[in-house]
Structure 1
Amino acid sequence: MKDIYKKLLYIAVPIMLQGMITATVNLVDVFMIGQVSESAIAAVSLANQVVMLLIISLFGISSAGVIFISQYHGVDDFPSIRKVIAFCSVLTLAVSSIFFLASFFFPQTLIQLFTSETVVVQLGGEYLTIVATSFFFTALSISLGQMLSGMGHVKEAMYASVLALFINVLLNYVLIFGHFGFPPLGVIGAAIATTCAKFCECLLLLFLAYQRKYPVFVSFNDFKRIDKSFSLNYLKTALPVIGSYTCWALGATTLTAIYSKMGTDVLVSISVFNSLEKIASTGILAMSCATGIIIGHELGRNNVDKAILIARKFNAIGAIFAIIMAVILASFAESLIGLYDLSPDTQDTAIKITRLFCLLLPLITVNSINMMGTLKSGGQTRYIFMVDIICMWGTTIPIALICMRANLPVMYVYLIAIGGGELVKLTLSGLRVQRLEWAKSLT
């Protein structure tokens, strides 16, 4: 197992660093925009709900591709890898086009789905219109990064994210506040900075993949090889994954809408908490992705017993890692949130929610490894989709609505709703993992 642990570190560490860099970009955005006003924070947060829906949809499409690519890579079947990438590119182009048209032409209508506050709607609409132009770059970056990760190449996406962070922070400083002769543009400046960063991230990722001769660049012949049988087999696996990601994204967006009904101050505290949550969640994402990729490689080689052993070992490692992360974040929550220019009540709420998240972090981590690592690697996508629907829409959202209507403080709404959903998920995913129905090859 020593080689597997080394492989875990080789794959998980770059993914975690990339995630932390991406989350840091969001953290810096929220921090800098927070210097403008709390309404600006709320506006950008709501606009980013639309962006999140796009990103989650793209991850759903490309994650399904990773399931196949990781197993094809296990037997060095590169023509099939390129065929998967070709099919994925068609789907991601279609999805990003839909989001672009809606966000570019009807931005304020989308923001009004969350709030009716005039200032927030106006600022959010301005931000979304500009950021919409980055959607195609985002689609290509996510798709290419995911495909490379399925083959075990994870450092390239990390390098591209480092460049994006540098450009985003620099342009935020210049454009939001108006330095080096530029006028202060506020929210619009943040949108321009994000768009430029996404473009450069995409460009570097393409360059690195081309320079290192990775088999990710498709030709017309690869598209011609997409037949009905392959399309149906892919969609059979992909649609539940897309549905699962979309289910989660719509649920998270609905939760944001519920929080927004509780007041702008609550929404701001949630936005600040989310920026910290994203950083802490990078470890969860890295462990889950690494688990899925490594198990996928073993299943592709028909090493079923080894795949089962890896799943059990990684679950235990993930739980221990989550406890360490939770203790660190809880210890520094007050200091980190204290950096923001918030009212005392808003700051206190953000700190309390962050510490409640730390309490739930080990549970969230085990569920993520079970669902998005172990079960997904074996193609159990329909079961994952079913569990996500039950947990999000049958548990978390109804509980959140009940708690809101009972006028409970947002901290209790978060703890009861999120905690309840995660407990149900632990039961359903844990049983499936123990039955070993996922341990099979798809190639």
Structure 2
Amino acid sequence: GWDRALLWCVLVAAWEAAWGQLRYSVPEEMPKGSFVGDVAKDLALDLPTLHDHGVRIIDRSRTQYFALHGKTGHLVTAERIDREQLCESVQQCVLRCEVIVKGEMQIYRIEVEITDINDNAPSFKERDLEERISETTAPGSRFPLAEAHDPDVGRNSLQRYELSGDEHFSLSVQAGPGGDQRPELVLAKALDREEAAFHELSVRLVLTAVDGGDPPRSGTAQLCINVTDANDNPPVFAHDRYGTSLREDAPPGSTVLNVSASDADAGTNARITYGFQEAPAKVLQKFVVEAESGTIRLQEALDFEDTRGYTLVVEARDGGGLVAHCEVEVEVLDVNDNAPEITVSSVSSPVPEDAPAGTVVALLKVRDRDSGENGQVWCELSGEAPLSMVSSSVGSYKVVTASALDREEASEHRVTVVARDRGSPSLSSRASLVLEVSDVNDNAPVF
């Protein structure tokens, strides 16, 4: 049957250090029950022992993604896994889990890489795009276009853009700071309102985004170019890039930064309004820019443990439709707002009173989602008992017997595990352990 318990999966990026004793890979979107790996064979585990003593899979995510087949020792999928839902923009999607063989009091660590399939086509947030360009705009002028989004990764992700529709325009693709592709419309030939092609003062183009899958998938947007009368000068930002930092406990309404652009034109052509260029919903939920002043404000609470920084692209648009862009990097600063979390992975109770000193009686996991000193944790046992705690690896502890037990003196021992972080002020958590002592025949009858 399926043995499911206490799932603990952690998403990790590709740059993290190797963690597991076993590493498997499985494509996303595989049906429930798909084979992942032969854990029993790869760990040289005895199947009868697994069946008699039982095993547990520990996985910290809210959803159980894997199960272990007790009769075969096979690791299989317990749910259909959507890589894009789990990892979003993470290049390498890895789930971690632990297998505990109860009879051995042994933990085996497993990593499963979720590989991408080309199940998403590139798409534009809006299918109909519009640009306003003055008839006096010089050939070679560039106009940023909306970017397409493809949640797949690697070759299956967005690879190129194509433009079709009119000889007056061409396409240029620039590399963004994160390696993303940013399409720009380039004016190849001078515009003339009196030409027959522009008698309605508009041009229609098709912008196509193509991924690298086999076969490739694509998405399109209709681009309408409105040719306007002269607006000679686009807005210019005081800086191309801005940087600032904000504590994660900053209240909504806090001012993040003020950006400023100027325009050498006069009248309505010089009136500038500010806004965000196309951005993920998470960014638009957190921040807002005042259209008239360029002041960026926080509108939803931050969480350092969720996102440590944001890149905002602010657009300045003048009354004639010309635009400029600047980037704002917002660093989120950690505060000590998370107490350590204690997880009792396994308890061996009762323990024979003749168990030798050093016998492992419990396995614990401790973590703190803060960073730096706020996330550094030390643990201790509180209570009178012949027990001690030793660290087996980062965040993992064993509770062992410190000396011989005597059931006739104490039939059970109660201790409290205390975990404290090194933040200021320090936060702590507690967990109780109850250890029963079983009798052995170590006393002769006495008259």
Q: Which has the higher contact order (CA 8 A, sep 6+)?
A: 1
Tell me which protein shows more strand as a share of its residues.
2
Scaled by the length of structure 2, the TM-score of the pair is: 0.20
Instruction: Point out the structure with max Rg over C-alpha.
Output: 2
Scaled by the length of structure 1, the TM-score of the pair is: 0.20
Tell me which protein shows more helix as a share of its residues.
1
